[in-house]
Amino acid sequence: MKILCIHQNFPGQYKHLAPALVEAGHDVWALTLRVKERAMWKGVKLVPYKVERSSTKNVFPLVADFETKLLRATYCYRNAMTLKKQGFEPDVILAHHGWGESLFLKDVWPNARMGLYCELYHLSDPEFTQFDPEFAPKTPEDQPLKLRLKNLNNRLHEEIMDSGLSPTRFQAGTFPAAFQDRLSVIHDGIDTDTVRADPDAELQIENGPRLSREDAVITFINRNLEPYRGYHVFMRALPRLLRDRPNAQVVILGGDGVSYGSKSPDGRSWKDIFLDEVRGQIPDADWARVHFLGRIPYETFLSVLQVSRVHVYLTYPFVLSWSLLEAMSAEAAIVASDTRPVREVIAQGETGRLMDFFDREALLREIYALLDDPETRARLGAAARRHIVETYDLRTRCLPEQMAWVEELAAKTARPPRD
C-alpha cells in the first residue's frame, strides 16, 4: 500500500508504526512541518509543507484557535494537491488531526481510507473546566463556547474518519457517540526491552553529584513544567520535603514552555513562577540538592528513571503522559494523583500509590513511606513493570495491534467528503 502520515511534529505518535509499515513492505510518506526539504527517515519519505501566512492580528478570540487550524489545513491541502498532480495516490492516510492539517485531504483523495489519532475531545464538564480553582478561567461562562469551537475541528474530522485510534480508554471516552463505533483503543507502546531497571545505573549531574540507586532520588518529569501536570503542587511540597529528608536528591525534568494549559498572566514561565514562590523558603544547602535538568537526551532520561527511588506523577484529568508508563516499565515506585487517566494504569497499593492531586500532606506522606520501605518499593516497582509488559509492550502488544488496525482500515470502503 501507499500510506501517507500527517503529523505537524512527525514522527510523533508514528515513531514506531511508520517504520514498521515500511518494514512490512508498504510505501510510506509523511507530510510535515518538521522538514524544509524532502528527506528520508527510516524508510519514510518526508515531504515538507509550509504555512505561508500567520493568524489574523486581533481576530475575534473565539475563532482564533480554529483559524490557526484552518491555515494549516489549507496549506497542507495545497501541498497534497501538488503530490496528487505528481501522481501520488495514497490508499491510506494516517493523521493526527489535532492541528487541523488533515481536514481537506479527503477532498484531494476521496477514495483514501482515513485513520485518525483521536487524542482528546474537549469536555465542558466541571471535572475538566473547574478541576483546579486556582487557575479557573477569568470568564467561566465563556468556557463552553470556547470548547465547542475548539471541538469544531474534531467534529469536521468525524465526517471523514474511516477509523479512529485512541491510546487510552479515558481519552477514547471523551469522544461523542458518533465516533465510538469507529474508535479503537491501542496505546503507542512502551519499548520495555529498552526501558527497564538497571541496578548499576548512574546519573551524573552537571557540576553536581553522581547519583545511583544508593541515593534517595525523587524524580518529577513533565514535557513542560506547568499546572496541568501538577508542577505547582510538587514545588510547594519541596521546602518541607528537603527539610524532613536531608539526604534526598530531587531531579526535575521539563521545559519552560506550555504544552496543554495557558500561559501565565504575566508572561513568565510557570517554572519560574513557582520556583520563585518557594525558593525563599529553602536554604542554599538544601537547594543544592534540587536539580533542574530541563530537556535531556533519551539515554539520560532513562538513567533518571533507573536511579529514581520514588517517582512523582501528577496530572489534571487529561492526556496520560508516556513518562508515567516508562517510569513503571523501569520499576520505579510511583506516587501519583488519583485522577481518572492515572487510575487506568495505577492500581492503589498494587502498581503504585495514589493521592488526591491537591493534598500536599498526602503527597509527602506517601513519598516518605516509600523512601523508608525498600520492600514495598520493590514490590510496587516489579508489579508496575509486569503490568506495562503485559498491557503496553510495544513489540508484543501495541505495535501488532496497530498494524492490524491499519490493515482493517485499508479493507474498509472510504467515507467520501460531504458537500
Question: Quick one: CA dihedral 278, 279, 285, 289, positive or negative?
Answer: positive
Whether residue 11 has a cis bond before it, omega within 30° of 0? yes
* Cα separation, 128 vs 125, whole angstroms: 6
Residue 413 CB coordination number (10 Å): 8
* Cα separation, 359 vs 128, whole angstroms: 18
Q: How long, in residues, is the chain? A: 419
* Cα separation, 150 vs 260, whole angstroms: 13
Q: What is the pLDDT along the chain (419 residues), one digit of tens a residue?
A: 999 999 989 999 999 999 999 999 999 999 999 999 999 999 999 999 999 988 899 899 889 999 999 999 999 999 999 999 999 999 999 999 999 999 999 999 999 999 999 999 999 888 888 899 999 877 778 888 989 999 999 999 999 999 999 999 999 999 999 999 999 999 999 999 999 999 999 999 999 999 999 999 999 999 999 999 999 999 999 999 999 999 999 999 999 998 887 888 898 999 999 999 999 999 999 999 999 999 999 999 999 999 999 999 999 999 999 999 999 999 999 999 999 999 999 999 999 999 999 999 999 999 999 999 999 999 999 999 999 999 999 999 999 999 999 999 999 999 887 75
Provide the CB-side half-sphere exposure for 38 (13 A, CA): 5
| Under 8 Å between Cβ of 175 and 121 | yes
Q: Tell which phi-psi region holds residue 289, choosing left (phi > 0), alpha (psi between -120 and 50) or beta.
A: alpha
Q: Residue 335 has what pLDDT? A: 98
**25-57 burial string, b = 16+ CB within 10 Å, else e?**
ebbbbbbbbeeeeeeebeebbbbebebeeeeee
Q: Which residue has the cell 500509590?
A: 353
| Under 8 Å between Cβ of 370 and 333 | yes
Residue 118's alpha-carbon distances to 9, 13, 122, 247, 418, in angstroms, are 16, 11, 11, 44, 20
Q: Residue 419 has what pLDDT? A: 55
| Under 8 Å between Cβ of 201 and 219 | no
Q: Which residue has the cell 527539610?
A: 243
Query: Terminal CA-to-CA distance of the chain, rounded, Å?
Result: 28
* Whole-model pTM over 0.85: yes
Q: Residue 289 has what pLDDT? A: 98
| Under 8 Å between Cβ of 258 and 382 | no
